[in-house]
Amino acid sequence: MEELSKNYDPASIEQAMLDKWLAGDYYKRSKGVGDCTVTIPPPNVTGKLHMGHAMDDTIQDTFVRFMRMRGRSTRWILGTDHAGIATQTKVDKKLAAEGISRREIGREKFIDACWDWTHEYGGHIVEQVKRMGCSVDFSDPHFTMDDDYAKAVRKTFVDWYHDDLIYRGKRIVNWCPHCRTAISDDEAEYKEEDGHLWHLRYPLTEPVDGQEYIVVATTRPETMLGDTGVAVSPKDHDKDKFVGKTVKLPIVDREIPIFSDFYVDADFGSGFVKVTPAHDPNDFAMGERNGLEKINIFDETAHVVEGYGEFSGMSREECREAVVAWFEEHGLLDHVEDHHHSVMHCYRCPSALEPWLSEQWFVAVDRLKGPATEAVTSGKVKFHPERWTQSYLTWMENLKDWCISRQLWWGHRIPVFYCDECGWMDASMEDVHACPHCGAATRQDEDVLDTWFSSQLWTFATQGWPDKPELMEGHHPTAALVTARDIIALWVARMIMASTYFLDEIPFHDVVIYATILAKDGTRMSKSKGNGVNPMDLIEKYGADAMRFNLLTLVTNNQDVRFDANLDKETKELIDSPRTEAARSFVNKVWNASRFVLSNLEGFMPGEPRVTGPADAWIFSRLAQLSERVTAGIEAYQFGEVARELHGFFWNEFCDWYIEFTKSALQQEGEARLQTQRNLVYVLDNALRLLHPAMPFVTEAIWEKLPHGDEAPALMMAAWPEPETLACWKNEEAERSIDLVCGIVSAVRSVRARYGISPKQALDVAVKAASEQDAVLVDEQRALIEGLARTASLSVAADLDKPAESAATLVSGCEVYCVLSGLVDFAAERDRLVKEHEKLQKESVKVEKKLSNPGYLAKAKPEIVEKDKAKHAELVAKIDLVVAQIAELG
């Protein structure tokens, strides 16, 4: 038999396996019974792999490989998103470095520059996904700006426009003055900031009960230039006398009304709320209800427009200082309070967003919400974990019309055409150059569509819609969508709305929401913070299998997980990741155990597995249980549990125990050795299949050298060990029997380690069984126990008394006694332990006192506090162990 190399080298072996898979076209759409089509959430075309991508893609690949091995018709669709703002920003910076701007070169040449950029940088993330071992169909890539996809986007807009689901209107939007485009509500990022609450005096046009002014409270005094009203709460009856009166707005000398509105919180500030309908969505709503004028005081760069004297041309920040100074100078600044509040920021640049009255295109969502809500409440679409269902439904219930226009050049241009001569306008699938009414030249809308508008079509526009809907047959709805919770509203909900409208069916059956991966300190990973971990660095240091397996262990029902990587403080490069290191150790364990099996297959001849003793019955039963749990776990998207089950079986049951059980038989000749070889190969083969979706590289490399007798050209194409097929091996009695053996042997080994007794020193061992039945089970495995535990004598009975001077351990209801007479100086050992106990107690009290000090907890860095907590827990565990040993010695 061809043996494995002594050491597992991820770099060379993973590349060799990747080349094998790609050369064999194993990633392409497979045929089978039942469908498993998955669309990869399209990363930005010019992006790079980050830990969120790595988690997402690892989960998807595990699921897809599992389904492929189960004989499903499997298709994993690859694609990238044109990323409107992100790509335009990058190209703008590139042009700026060359001393030019997009406005200088014009729209057409700028779009050419964007295409050049995507062609130059667009393949990076795809290559990284490939290096991870993701078995996505790389031969069939999709891009949201491809001609066929663009046609689908255009049809969506035109159909919705003609169905009165898309309209143009002047409404408040979140405006980025740096990117100079609208941003949707769901894309805005909120940042906590320390600010102020300015209390400003607005003079009453006529005194009310001798009062000459009212006081309004605001966090944005600069917007008072656009005030067109002052609101009070209808519940605040002390202010009823002011309703219907007017104030003279300072600086601009505008007379504005005081009115009541249910939106106002009587307890906020002074109870008088300045209303600026053009610069606040809630003020806009109040303005609509109360017929207020909407005055936009800022231009697209957030500078004050003409008509405001000395304030015109000022930025928001300059205007704020100037307005406050003016109020103070004129005796109208009542007082100022510190105020901590959330401020919306652009997700693509550091600018604070400006609520801005602007003419934009919107999707009217009311008619789309019903079917999209029913798709989830009916159970047609299920969220995993289930708690995200309510997040989806709550968002859907409160959904407002969606602003879909962006003031960019890169993207899907809005297909609406205008005639300035006669006023005609319409949306069209084809470009319109001449007005169909008057024949004059037309112009196309300048804006492009929000990238989420195009990506909402992802599950079906990548599969032939609208021109070749037959390509979707049997592949839509797709099986599952794996994504982050951040885009349940941005993407998941919109995909369901689009699919139910155009196809009258859901886009996917399951939505799998994975935990957000945070930095080690619990904050979000980001480039600006320098705390992001590059998955490619993890792959280079530990191998793709180790990174993937570690990520799967982090899949829990909790929404956030911390990644334990340590980064260099200056270079921000990866130093280490203990959990990924542990995963690499597991990869090496699998490799070395497989290497042992392959090195002991001389004279092997294929044959059926067969139970030759309780150890075989036990491992076959454990394999059947593993198949059942792993299969059910992947089907339920419980990948963390799956990873733990696989690790426990391979590391503990197969490597640490079953291989040990087989060593004596492998030293024999004839049938006993041959059947042991067959059993080893059978267990290893099936275990590798179960492990393959999670760790594809190492399992494939081992499997191709294993005499498995399978016709499949690669492990990834081999059959899955179905629970029904392996169920015949289940044997509860064998499991109980060998579990007792393993527990007893471990107990004896633990006593040796605890007291420093050499493994070569035989021990007298007695086992007090929990029952007569257990006594029989243990006695039947006497030979295994004596060999593995190296006993001088072994007594087994249900009514044994504890031997003198012995250490006791409880194992599955049985008491295991190791006689220590003559091997341990009980008095000296007891004295040593008492001193050790006193030392540990002092250390524990010291750390506990530190952790109970509020001042220390407030000032110390979180990671230092966590380190101290871990130290205290370790000390407590050591104390408990020492106390147990002292009690053991009497």
Binding-site residues from annotation for ATP: 527
Contact 778, 816 (CB under 8 A): no
CA–CA separation, 80 vs 143, rounded Å? 5
Three-state SS for 372-439 is HHHHHHCCCCEEECCCHHHHHHHHHHCCCCEECEECCCCCCECCEEECCCCCCEEECCCCCCECCCCC
How many other β-carbons are positioned within 10 Å of the β-carbon of residue 382?
16
Pairing mode, strands 273-275 and 229-232: antiparallel
What is the spatial order of strands in the sheet that 791-797 belongs to?
791-797, 763-768, 814-819, 806-811
CA–CA separation, 10 vs 697, rounded Å? 8
CA–CA separation, 634 vs 629, rounded Å? 9
CA atoms within 13 A on the CB side of 710: 21
Helices 671-691 and 578-599, interaxial angle, to 10°? 150
151: phi then psi, degrees, rounded to nearest 5: -65, -40
The helix (run of H) or strand (run of E) holding residue 207 is strand 189-208
- Binding site: residue ranges? 527
CA–CA separation, 640 vs 96, rounded Å? 47
CA–CA separation, 323 vs 310, rounded Å? 10
Q: Using alpha carbons, select from 726, 603, 721, 618 the residue that is nearest to residue 662.
A: 618
Contact 231, 286 (CB under 8 A): yes
Pairing mode, strands 229-232 and 254-260: parallel
- Pull the structure tokens for residue 557: 């029902």
* C-alpha distances out from residue 316 to 311, 435, 478, 559, 625, Å: 10, 42, 48, 37, 66
40: phi then psi, degrees, rounded to nearest 5: -75, 130
Three-state SS for 288-337 is HHHCCCCCCCECCCCEECCCCHHHCCCEHHHHHHHHHHHHHHCCCEEEEE
CA–CA separation, 177 vs 170, rounded Å? 18
* C-alpha distances out from residue 176 to 185, 195, 198, 319, 350, Å: 12, 20, 24, 18, 10
- Pull the structure tokens for residue 355: 């609520």
